[in-house]
Structure 1
Amino acid sequence: MIVRHVRLRYTLLTRGVFDHLGITEQRVASALEGVRRGSARHVLIAPPGAGNIGDQAMVEAFVAAADRPVTVVTRGPKDFTLPVDLAAGAEIVALPGLFYGAGGAHANALARLKLLLTDAATVSIVGADIMDGVYVLRSSLRRSAIAAGSARAGIDTTVLGFSWSGKAPAAALRALRRAGAAGVRLLLRDPASAARVRDAGIGGVVETADIVFTDDRRDDAKADGILRGIDGPFAIVNVSGLIARTVDQVPEYTALLDHLRADGFTVVLLPHVLRDTADDLTACREVYAASGGEGVLLIDEQLSPSTIRSLANRASLIVTGRMHLAIMSLAQGTPAITLATQGKVEGLMKLFGWPELCVAPGPGMGERIWAVASQVLAAPDARDRVQAGAARARALAAANIDRISGNDARERYAERNASR
């Protein structure tokens, strides 16, 4: 046991040294030397997925816009399941060692990626909140290094709309700087993140919005079935399993649900991340049990992004601890009060010109959320304000797909937005 503990400590220490000295990036760069671009496919480096509806929404938005087949590079073969309308346009290739593997597993994954890149007209990396190293530094460094390597090979390379924390480690900043210098387009998805990266002297910055703003597909039939039996207005409430790690949310959301029900709303408890780590369904179930269940509908399955959009379109209000639920709701013109944990939500609400929709998690947040909700529900122009922000966001978000959509797709996208 002691030997195993010592070995683990040594491994973690070695990884930390390699990450901070730039060796992690150098290994990726060496493995990708000699790549030559192709023209047959778009290669998309996907986020973790596996129960995260926001990750699913980003991948679907990309595939929906693509003008040629897409190779979606994932961690595992079951991390994403594409809906029927998109499945024919993409193949999923699992490279489990690419971001989280070590030694031979990582080397083999890089060799397989190199083969995929020889067929690539473009390379796109889903940035989201995984580029700045705040969650897992090594995987962030590897993503930036892959972007830099493919750009040096002459492949049109983009890091799709991502946030950048003011607490990003220096190693992550260095890796992103190298990617920008290699010619990678860095699409920052909110004004605050763009300012942080520009102020660090990094090139290639394009201010955009999240790619999910480009996708407006809805599944009204599924939403009809879920809402059957609900008469009158309803509010969607998400309880984040990630925030539950540090905040006792049950009494806070119980108080919020009491206010909403007293005001005539049915509450739909909606998990957005359903997996063993930071599970929203567990957190939602705890709030449901504490609420007594009267006037509350608990969703206990992973819904598709298209169904989420349809539900959000019909809701009067959204309260969420997950940013992509906020994005899908705001895109439908529905106000979304969102709990802020890393600075990315503040940037989103700045884009919409409504910073009050951002609430800090912690003791008393239930009453703070209700205070904001009361103002939103009483504002006659609330949906108009959100729809105006959504129009700005969609226009900015087009930068995520302009290199992969082709002229026909770009025209369809413009026509779709003009008719909203």
Structure 2
Amino acid sequence: MSDLLLTIFLPISSLLISTYALLLWIIRIFGFVRRLPNSAIILPPAAPGSLGDEAMVCASIDYLRKQGIENISLIEHTNKETYPVDVIENIRLRNFFIYQTWYKFITSFLYAGWKVNQYERFYALGADVMDGYYSNYYTFKTVKIAEIASFMGCSTGILGFSCNRQPTNISKQLLSALPSSVGLNARDKISYQRLIDSIYHPVNLVADLGFLLKPAEQSDKLAKVLEWVNTQKSQNKIILGINIHILLLKNLEGITADDLVQVLAETITKLHQDNQQLSFIFLPHDRRKINEFNDDILSKKVIENLPPEVASSCFKIPFPCLTREIKGIVKHIDCVLTGRMHLGIACLGQGTPIACITYQGKFEGLYQHFNLEPLFIEPKKLFVPNQNDLVELVHKLIAQRQSLHEQVISKLDEVKELSQANFTSII
């Protein structure tokens, strides 16, 4: 559906949804549908593949079950994969999320409303999909499911989402038009202020749901990684985590994946020359491929482009793995350079300091939660000739790692309370 059609459809969509919600309410009142007690339905931000999305899903279910909400279902974006969680139902809504003819969209939306009517609570995990950056169409669909859930009397919230510098006009209209009973939860202070300035709806300041994730304590993959980590520590090595991904190249004209691999290989080589006590562990965090590349493939290519004496100081974690395993791993690493925000959240949640290759203005608000000086670099600066900005950033991270660790630990309980605030006002 084009942005023009969305703009035309917006004024009448709420009327149609409220009418359908009234019909569903009548059906429930007359006993044709019964709501599951202690129940919630969760809409993830995307199909499985990102360990960041997986962290939000797993953390949400952990927290809700701790509150006695046992009957939980997930809305699935695809018929092929499910998240690694135990739920009573995976509700298949592939036809709702793909681009399609209008009548298939209407049919799948009616089905979505019918299913939501069977639960007491509805939570959309907003992440980075609510400002229209990726798709106004997806933002529209998420908001409209939340709207019908609210009209039917469900406790409803859009949890832990960010807002970039320029949210689309359609996304602002959609969020502003939501009933006031729908909780809108911004996951950092910068996003909170951007939303306050651009929409007409109450907004709550929270922290990302990933801070509530429980790490894995044991698994075969975790044991394999910790064996390498412990060997490095026995040699008094400083262990630096590395994550890169292909989205860092978005909007960088003429820059290829090979260019990114070369820059990272040169950076790691220079870091090793400067300090041979460094060891490097590569931490892929998303298995989805874009232009034939994902985090794991890029990590392998970087290692292949290193001199043998540097490559011998490197280790790539077994992948794919679970998001809980990643969080269990990063506890034992000295510091991490990451391009993925949710890997950064896993690190900070374990007290491990981070530096970031930032994109879409994502990381600044995360640092503010911990009162930290931002340690980040924009992707375009990686490719400036004869500059060592990334090397200098990592040197700064390594030099300050102990004081950064102490600062993170001092603020962590407060940040976890903010993460719980995603639910406390709307459970």
TM class by shorter chain equals 0.7 to 0.9
Distance 1:300 1:218, change over 3 A: closer
Do 2:156 and 2:183's aligned partners in 1 also have CA atoms closer than 8 Å? yes
Do 2:240 and 2:280's aligned partners in 1 also have CA atoms closer than 8 Å? yes
Deviation at 1:260, TM superposition (A): 4.0
Match of 2:52 in 1: 54
Name the CA distance, whole Å, in 1 between partners of 2:195 and 2:120: 27
Match of 2:327 in 1: 309
Deviations 1:5-58 (A, max 9, x none): xxxxxxx6xx22112234498187265453338353201011213311111111
Deviations 1:114-155 (A, max 9, x none): 221121111000100001100111011111122122112221
Do 1:51 and 1:302's aligned partners in 2 also have CA atoms closer than 8 Å? no
1:242 pairs with 2:264: no
Match of 1:373 in 2: 394
Larger displacement relative to structure 2 (254-263 or 375-384): 254-263
Do 2:281 and 2:315's aligned partners in 1 also have CA atoms closer than 8 Å? yes
Which of these residues, 258, 279, 284, is aligned with residue 299 of structure 2?
Answer: 284
Name the CA distance, whole Å, in 2 between partners of 1:340 and 1:314: 24
Distance 1:239 1:209, change over 3 A: same
Name the CA distance, whole Å, in 2 between partners of 1:121 and 1:358: 42
The 5 A counterparts of 1:55-70 are 55-66=53-64, 67-70=69-72
Deviations 1:219-252 (A, max 9, x none): 3443221232442232210111211453532232
Corresponding letter in the other structure for 2:364: E
Secondary structure at the counterpart of residue 283 of structure 1: helix
Do 1:70 and 1:90's aligned partners in 2 also have CA atoms closer than 8 Å? yes
Do 1:25 and 1:141's aligned partners in 2 also have CA atoms closer than 8 Å? no
Match of 1:157 in 2: 156
Larger displacement relative to structure 2 (246-255 or 331-340): 246-255
Deviation at 1:213, TM superposition (A): 0.7
Do 1:259 and 1:370's aligned partners in 2 also have CA atoms closer than 8 Å? yes
Deviation at 1:304, TM superposition (A): 0.7
Name the CA distance, whole Å, in 1 between partners of 2:91 and 2:128: 22
Which consecutive residues of structure 2, in runs of 5 or more, have no partner in the other structure?
Answer: 29-34
Match of 1:389 in 2: 411
Deviation at 1:193, TM superposition (A): 0.5
Tell me how many residue pairs correspond in the alignment: 387
Distance 1:165 1:18, change over 3 A: same
Corresponding letter in the other structure for 1:341: Y
CA RMSD of aligned residues (A): 2.3
Name the CA distance, whole Å, in 2 between partners of 1:225 and 1:300: 8
Secondary structure at the counterpart of residue 168 of structure 1: coil
Deviation at 1:158, TM superposition (A): 0.4
Deviation at 1:372, TM superposition (A): 2.7
Do 1:148 and 1:178's aligned partners in 2 also have CA atoms closer than 8 Å? no
Do 2:355 and 2:397's aligned partners in 1 also have CA atoms closer than 8 Å? no
1:112 pairs with 2:134: no
Do 1:43 and 1:124's aligned partners in 2 also have CA atoms closer than 8 Å? yes
Do 2:36 and 2:71's aligned partners in 1 also have CA atoms closer than 8 Å? no
Distance 1:403 1:303, change over 3 A: farther
Do 1:22 and 1:171's aligned partners in 2 also have CA atoms closer than 8 Å? no
1:345 pairs with 2:343: no
Name the CA distance, whole Å, in 2 between partners of 1:319 and 1:105: 44
Name the CA distance, whole Å, in 1 between partners of 2:162 and 2:138: 15
Name the CA distance, whole Å, in 1 between partners of 2:227 and 2:418: 36
Do 1:43 and 1:117's aligned partners in 2 also have CA atoms closer than 8 Å? yes
Which of these residues, 254, 260, 267, is aligned with residue 256 of structure 1?
Answer: 267
Deviation at 1:204, TM superposition (A): 2.5
1:231 pairs with 2:242: no
Which of these residues, 279, 295, 298, is aligned with residue 266 of structure 1?
Answer: 279
Name the CA distance, whole Å, in 1 between partners of 2:305 and 2:246: 16
Do 1:281 and 1:300's aligned partners in 2 also have CA atoms closer than 8 Å? no
Do 1:359 and 1:369's aligned partners in 2 also have CA atoms closer than 8 Å? yes
Deviation at 1:79, TM superposition (A): 3.5
Secondary structure at the counterpart of residue 362 of structure 1: helix
Match of 1:5 in 2: none
Deviations 1:47-83 (A, max 9, x none): 213311111111111111222211100111343332x
Match of 1:330 in 2: 348
Corresponding letter in the other structure for 1:147: A
Corresponding letter in the other structure for 1:74: E
Distance 1:397 1:25, change over 3 A: farther
Match of 1:3 in 2: none
Deviations 1:276-318 (A, max 9, x none): 2262222222212112432111235112111101111000111
Do 1:193 and 1:344's aligned partners in 2 also have CA atoms closer than 8 Å? no
Distance 1:185 1:404, change over 3 A: closer
Distance 1:24 1:302, change over 3 A: farther
Which of these residues, 76, 79, 82, is aligned with residue 80 of structure 1?
Answer: 82
Do 1:320 and 1:338's aligned partners in 2 also have CA atoms closer than 8 Å? yes
Secondary structure at the counterpart of residue 124 of structure 2: strand
Distance 1:22 1:337, change over 3 A: farther
Corresponding letter in the other structure for 1:73: I
Distance 1:32 1:134, change over 3 A: farther
Do 2:55 and 2:210's aligned partners in 1 also have CA atoms closer than 8 Å? yes
Which consecutive residues of structure 1, in runs of 5 or more, have no partner in the other structure?
Answer: 1-11, 406-420
Secondary structure at the counterpart of residue 356 of structure 2: strand
- TM-score, structure 2 normalization: 0.84
Name the CA distance, whole Å, in 1 between partners of 2:162 and 2:299: 26
Deviation at 1:163, TM superposition (A): 0.2
- TM-score, structure 1 normalization: 0.85
Large movers: runs of 4+ above 4 Å: 30-33
Match of 2:202 in 1: 204
